[in-house]
Every structure is written in structure tokens, then in C-alpha cells.
Amino acid sequence: MFLLIRGRGISGGQRSGPLLVSLVPISFLSGVDPESGIIVEKGHPLQGERISGKVLAFPFGKGSTVGSYVLYALSQNGHAPAAIINAEAEPIIATGAIISRIPMIDRIEIPINRLKSGVHVMVNGDTGEMMYDGELV
């Protein structure tokens, strides 16, 4: 079942991949290892998960502005997410996505908790849309 879900484009480009959904914010500074793309934040629900090549959906970022540069380092090391979906973009994640050329959208029509990890999606940061190939939770 294909769904076209509309939102707001933050960082341009189009990429696809399997969804990795977090219902809690993510800190890229000290929360994600830029050398491996693995979430290392102790106690985070996605601790141990690799974000490389996945479409990462989470409510918003948290932590230091250095998180933007961690996203850039992930990109340079080949471990960045394919795309980012936020409930509400904030400057740290938006800046990191833009400088890293990671497509990003926010304010999608449905709550992030309705998205299912593993579902294949295509994110279009230019139009603010995503194609969701699966059932909602």
C-alpha cells in the first residue's frame, strides 16, 4: 500500500531506504558514533542500531549545536542516514542535514508514532513529501 504523506521540505534532495523510527529525540553529539553510524546513547530505545543508509524518523533533535557537525562527519564517513523526518525541525538537525546534503522533511500529516520501522520510504526534501510503502501502525 503506497501512501503519499505531505510535510515541509527542510533540506533538498531525494533518497529512499528503510525507516528507522524513534519516538524520543536523538542527540548526535555523544549519542551517535560518527565512525560507525551506531546510536550509542545509553538508555536510548535505538541504542545499538545503525542509522547508515536508513531514513531516520524522530520527533526532534536535542543537545549541543556540535550535533550539526556530527551529522556532517557521518556524511563524510559514509554513515549518514539516507534522509531525516522530524515532527518539528530545530536548528541543530536542520543545519546538519543541509550542510551534509541529507534530504529532510518535517511537519508530516501523520504523527511519527504511526510510522513503522523497516517500511521502505522515499523522501523528497524539495517537495516536502514522502512515499510510504506499507501499513501504518
**Per annotation, catalytic residue among 16, 30, 36, 64:** 64
Cβ count near 10 (within 10 Å): 22
Closest CA to 112 of 62, 60, 67: 60
- Which helix (H) or strand (E) is 65 found in, with range? none
52 has catalytic annotation: no
Separation of alpha carbons 53 and 19, rounded Å: 10
Annotated catalytic residues are 64
